[in-house]
Structure 1
Amino acid sequence: MYNPFENEQGSYIVLINGEKQYSLWPAAIDIPAGWKKVYGPEVKMECVQFIEENWRDMRPKSLRLAIEKVTS
């Protein structure tokens, strides 16, 4: 069975949502609602590297803001 998310040689894009969370996504599949493309298309390894370099805080944006509000 073919899984487009596991194709190392496939073409991928990097998506981001309103919570500033990233997702690796096959370029041939429609972008889901609430997400937008920020990088690609590129090979999987390049997209993973982009995510690693840009997604420094895994917490959703709303959680980060709530914590900042409580601690300030």
Structure 2
Amino acid sequence: MSTETSTGDENEIRYSVVINDEEQYSIWPAHRETPAGWRETGCAGTKQECLDHIDTVWTDMRPRSLRERMTAKEA
């Protein structure tokens, strides 16, 4: 079990909101290196703060490439 989940207090862990090239969001422990294929958005906080931010900004769950294909078909 990792130390991040064994503490039992998620409010002590700082997270960063990350986004990939398909504009899909996730959270990542702020003390860890951002994984390949993802970049930080500048938003960080508790797990719940980060999830609340994602709920606000990620309004279309479709990957960017799918949205672009669908838009091209409509034109």
TM above 0.5, yes or no, is yes
Which residue does the alignment assign to 1:47?
50
Gaps of 5+ in 2: none
Larger Rg: 1 or 2?
2
How many pairs were matched up? 72
Matches within 5 A, 1:27-66: 27-66=30-69
Give the TM-score normalised by the residue count of structure 1.
0.85
| Cα distance in 1 for residues equivalent to 2:44 and 2:28 | 9
Instruction: Point out 4+ residue stretches in structure 1 off by more than 2 angstroms.
Output: 2-7
Give the TM-score normalised by the residue count of structure 2.
0.82
- 1:70 maps onto 2:44 in alignment: no
* The one of 5, 20, 25 aligned to 1:22: 25
CA separation of 1:14 and 1:7: change in aligned 2, threshold 3 A: farther
Decide which moves more: 2-11 or 50-59: 2-11
Q: What residue identity is the alignment partner of 2:49?
A: E
